[in-house]
Structure 1
């Protein structure tokens, strides 16, 4: 049953972000009732259009579309490369976009690829996975998995270093990234990819939406748990939110009982995000499984806060912290290849 009101008091919004939340309250999206999915999709594309056009016009990178076979239909990938020639292979960030599983496209948030190109020398690959409800259950995750495996098989042609590949997902894409990482762990020997890291930005992980944070943000502007419940119903139908064992971890990663064997993982979200407690619980489960995981809960920040208020101090701090983690993961691999890291420990040569 859809909750109508918040059941717990909310933590305050960040002082720089609160005015934007108040403005958004007059134009709150709602997935309640007979929502117009076509309209919601058009609005999402329109919001991202200026950033997409800026990316395509940016001379510091090149964008190339590639069409590959998918599990059911062909999949389109966009490959963003730093401009200029380079003989040695580059690091790769395999990117999965957000949009509550039901909207947006592979360009949503892809403007971050210009930063990764400049700061990390990385190639970004973004996949156009099938959206729900047209693609339900494990369909979207299977699309992403197939695209990642294809990228691994064609690493040389793509100019990427298969040992420096990070799987990166945002919101719904974060949930899909976690699902794909579980698929890779479980399909041992069935793929040519070894993930160096897993990056989950405010991931959409749990269809049950019963945490305290979900009940703090049932209504109101920004992304809330009422929207979230409706989005999960698009993906899972009547199974969404069930307490029975009818939803797999490949559909809702919070359902996984064991997260051991996953690569080093970064998670973050805001304290004013309905996903906050699901993300914290997932981080704890990673630690329980012996996974190297880093978790940040940004105070007063709602879902997608760095897109809503990119110049707020908390947004700048979050973006700098994320970039630092990506750089650290890639530099660790460089040291590993040079023999300076052995079994997770820095060699004496490094500290002398």
Structure 2
């Protein structure tokens, strides 16, 4: 996979300055009437307010304890490395968790993982123990899990640009990491699936 860290602005669009302060948050847009009708069939489904989100994050992390890197290594079965890499131009660095079987030889395929959480919850360690157990152990693939900025503090396109920057870095450094740059899969569950789609489209549009 070939990737570039910079890309031309699509025709007809104005490039936004990465250092521009985000606009003040207003009320969320209304749901499409068809979607609202579906939500009405699920009792207890509520859209959280801005004030509720910090407490929700604490609850989610409390229900799913954050594993330590030693726990993820499973007694030496997996190699786990936390790496800070350049984020989008003008924005903070991002964190990647680089995971591979300890007994892997040669360049292996890698899943570039974008975690779920409705764009407002979770982190790069969300679901990682299960992926190591079911995919790295059974299939022998590597995993790169990206930490992206969460909404609403960081609205679109910040999350997808963070994920894209991490993908570019992964592709450019695949050989030294023991990954095959021609076999990078982008994937995620729930909100991570939407981000994965956005990153794949960006890679296509930017010549990656």
Q: TM-score range by the shorter chain?
A: 0.7 to 0.9
Say if 2:73 and 2:80, in contact at 8 Å, map to a contact too: no
| 1:247-297 CA distance string (max 9 Å, x none) | xxxxxxxxxxxxxxxxxxxxxxxxxxxxxxxxxxxxxxxxxxxxxxxxxxx
Please, which of 82, 103, 114 is the counterpart of residue 96 of structure 1? 114
- Structure 1 stretches lacking a partner, 5+ long: 12-20, 192-352
SS of equivalent residue, structure 1 residue 165? strand
Q: Secondary structure at the match of 2:183?
A: strand
* Unaligned 5+ runs, structure 2: 1-29
Contact 2:39 2:45 in 1 (8 A): no
Q: Deviations over 1:178-208 (max 9, x none)?
A: 00111011112xx4xxxxxxxxxxxxxxxxx
- Of Structure 1 and Structure 2, which has the larger fraction of its residues in helix? 1
Partners of 1:46 and 1:175 in 2: CA distance: 25
Report the 3-state secondary structure (helix = DSSP H, G, I; strand = E; otherwise coil) of the residue aligned with 1:31.
Answer: coil
Per the TM alignment, residue 35 of structure 1 is displaced from its structure 2 partner at its CA by 3.9
**Is the counterpart of residue 140 in structure 1 residue 140 in structure 2?**
no
Question: How many angstroms apart in 2 are the aligned matches of 1:80 and 1:57?
Answer: 9
Kept in 1: contact 2:113–2:146 (CA 8 A): yes
Aligned residue pair count: 172
Match of 2:203 in 1: 184
Computing the radius of gyration from Cα coordinates, the structure with the larger value is 1
Q: CA deviation at 1:83?
A: 2.1
The whole-number CA distance in structure 2 between the counterparts of 1:76 and 1:122 is 20
- Separation in structure 2 between the aligned mates of residue 8 and residue 152 of structure 1, nearest angstrom: 40
| Cα offsets for 1:151-185 (capped at 9, x unmatched) | 00000111001111111111111000000111011
Secondary structure of 2:63's aligned partner: helix
Residue 87 of structure 2 is aligned to residue 64 of structure 1: no
Q: Does 1:41 align with 2:52?
A: no
| Contact map agreement 1:64 1:80 (CA 8 A) in 2 | yes
SS at match of 1:135: coil
Measured after TM superposition, the shift of residue 128 of structure 1 is: 0.2
Which residue of the partner structure matches residue 122 of structure 1?
Answer: 141
* Displacement of 1:119: 1.7
2:171 corresponds, among 145, 152, 155, to 152
TM-score normalised to structure 1 length: 0.45
How large is the RMSD of aligned CA atoms in angstroms?
Answer: 2.7
Paired with 1:136 and 1:9, the residues of 2 have a C-alpha distance of: 23
